[in-house]
């Protein structure tokens, strides 16, 4: 070995792709088209060794990524191993598949930072792009958990042709979720993204408009922690009011708050023909004739206006859709119920858990 040769700088970060599995089907996914199967994933013991070796090489931080790292049952053990090796641990997640109970285990294992990706500021469009109904709501729920544990949150807004005109509202949503840092990143053209490039690439005008919006927002939030705190407080107030009104409250402060926001939403919105969102693996491609849109230049309260509009729709719709509260242990989720027959937020989660609980109870009683 030539002792005079320049030495490569020490690596600072390690990107640990724990799995290629993911319940979402984003058309811009940079996963390879031929995925590594579960049986081919590195196990906990190998990752533990890798983290120790990485730390010895000088690595300071590890990004626990995927696919969706929440698909790994041993994610808490892997996080603990990275923490024990002295690495700063960053979880990069879509938020789907990480329950509050699991997040508690990750926090206890030494998780230092979380990055959640968002698809759009409009819940229906976001779920459509993700190819997963309910993904938007799960992102909100996990972001709230992250903030509750006092762990810093980054929100990553992945931009492409179908959502780049909403960049302002997406940044506002990120702040309302409690993000300490917002990353506005264009799609990286690998894997599915490369396959779908023609449909994902924004026009030049779109890109220039988005850059101007981001520059304006940067200027606006520079050092403006007070405004961000006030916005968060407003969002929390609206969330509580929406909860109470959705469950039947028709007077008092909660009603006034929702009615006031709904009025503002009507004034700020316009109905546009639905865009065609490019499809990817597992995408929901159900057609929609039109969607409700805010002015792309609207201010940071755009996501609150979107929520208010959805509530307006629900309350004034003649379809008779009702809202129910899931009775699952520790759940607390609300759901819409068109046929008034629904009991659980999700049969696969709370419904099955209850079945297992009842079965265990019956078995215990039979033994006793
Ligand atoms: S880009 Fe979407 S589909 Fe791909 S791993 Fe991330 S969340 Fe999953």
Determine whether the shortest distance from the Cβ of 210 to ligand 1 is under 6 A. Answer: no
The tokens for 324 are: 């129910």
**Rounded Cα distance, 214 and 210, in Å:** 6
DSSP helix/strand/coil, 325 = strand
CB atoms within 10 A of CB 4: 4
**Rounded Cα distance, 282 and 189, in Å:** 19
The tokens for 101 are: 């109970």
196 plus 249 within the same structural domain: no
**Domain stop point among 222, 247, 271:** 222
23 plus 87 within the same structural domain: yes
- How many angstroms separate the alpha carbon of residue 192 from the centre of ligand 1? 10
Q: Supply the pLDDT for residue 280.
A: 38
Please, what are the averages of pLDDT over each run of 10 residues along the chain (368 residues)? 68 93 93 82 96 91 95 96 94 94 95 96 92 92 94 95 92 88 92 92 94 85 68 84 91 94 86 57 50 64 80 82 82 80 80 81 77
Tell which residue, 251, 228, 241, has the closest CA to residue 181.
228
**Domain stop point among 203, 222, 241:** 222
The parent domain of residue 127 ranges over: 13-222
192 plus 252 within the same structural domain: no
274 plus 158 within the same structural domain: no
Looking at the structure of the chain, the number of domains it has is 2
Residue 340: inside a domain, yes or no?
A: no
For residues 354 and 360, is the Cβ–Cβ distance under 8 A?
A: no
**Rounded Cα distance, 322 and 315, in Å:** 9
Q: Containing H/E element for 273?
A: strand 269-273
**Rounded Cα distance, 243 and 325, in Å:** 10
Q: Supply the pLDDT for residue 236.
A: 83
Confidence (pTM): 0.68
114 plus 132 within the same structural domain: yes
199 plus 114 within the same structural domain: yes
Residue 48: inside a domain, yes or no?
A: yes
**Rounded Cα distance, 280 and 293, in Å:** 23
To test ligand 1's pocket by mutation, which of 17, 21, 23, 31 has the most ligand atoms within 8 angstroms of CB? 31
Q: Supply the pLDDT for residue 284.
A: 38
Determine whether the shortest distance from the Cβ of 24 to ligand 1 is under 6 A. Answer: yes
179 plus 157 within the same structural domain: yes
131 plus 30 within the same structural domain: yes
Q: Containing H/E element for 181?
A: strand 181-186
Q: Supply the pLDDT for residue 356.
A: 82
35 plus 161 within the same structural domain: yes
Q: Supply the pLDDT for residue 224.
A: 64
148 plus 252 within the same structural domain: no
Residue 67: inside a domain, yes or no?
A: yes
The CATH number for 116's domain is 3.20.20.70
**Rounded Cα distance, 24 and 130, in Å:** 6
């Amino acid at each position: 070995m030539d002792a005079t040769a320049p030495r490569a700088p020490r690596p600072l970060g390690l990107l640990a792709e724990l799995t290629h599995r993911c319940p979402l089907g984003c058309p811009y996914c940079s996963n390879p088209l031929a995925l590594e199967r579960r049986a081919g994933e590195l196990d906990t013991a190998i990752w533990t060794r890798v983290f120790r070796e990485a730390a010895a090489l000088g690595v300071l931080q590890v990004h626990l990524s995927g696919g969706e790292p929440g698909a790994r049952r041993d994610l808490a053990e892997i996080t603990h191993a990275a923490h024990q090796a002295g690495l700063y641990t960053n979880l990069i997640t879509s938020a789907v598949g990480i329950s509050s109970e699991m997040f508690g285990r990750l926090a206890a294992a030494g998780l230092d930072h979380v990055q959640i990706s968002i698809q759009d500021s409009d819940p229906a469009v976001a779920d459509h792009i993700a190819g997963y109904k309910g993904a938007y709501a799960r992102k909100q729920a996990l972001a709230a958990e992250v903030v509750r544990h006092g762990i810093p949150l980054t929100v990553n807004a992945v931009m492409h042709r179908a959502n780049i005109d909403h960049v302002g509202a997406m940044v506002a949503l990120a702040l309302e979720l409690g993000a300490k840092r917002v990353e506005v990143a264009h799609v990286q053209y690998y894997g599915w993204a490369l396959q779908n490039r023609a449909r994902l690439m924004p026009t030049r005008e779109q890109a220039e408009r988005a850059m101007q919006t981001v520059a304006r927002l940067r200027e606006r939030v520079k050092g403006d922690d007070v405004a961000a705190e006030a916005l968060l407080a407003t969002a929390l107030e609206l969330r509580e009011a929406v909860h109470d009104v959705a469950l039947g409250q028709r007077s008092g402060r909660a009603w006034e708050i929702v009615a006031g926001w709904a009025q503002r939403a009507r004034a700020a919105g316009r109905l546009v023909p639905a865009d065609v969102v490019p499809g990817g693996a597992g995408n929901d491609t159900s057609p929609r004739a039109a969607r409700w849109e805010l002015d792309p230049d609207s201010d940071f309260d755009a996501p609150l206006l979107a929520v208010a509009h959805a509530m307006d729709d629900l309350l004034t719709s003649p379809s008779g859709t009702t809202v129910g509260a899931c009775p699952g242990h520790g759940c607390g989720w609300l759901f819409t119920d068109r046929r008034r027959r629904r009991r659980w937020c999700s049969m696969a989660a709370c419904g099955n858990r209850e079945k297992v609980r009842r079965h265990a109870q019956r078995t215990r009683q039979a033994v006793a």
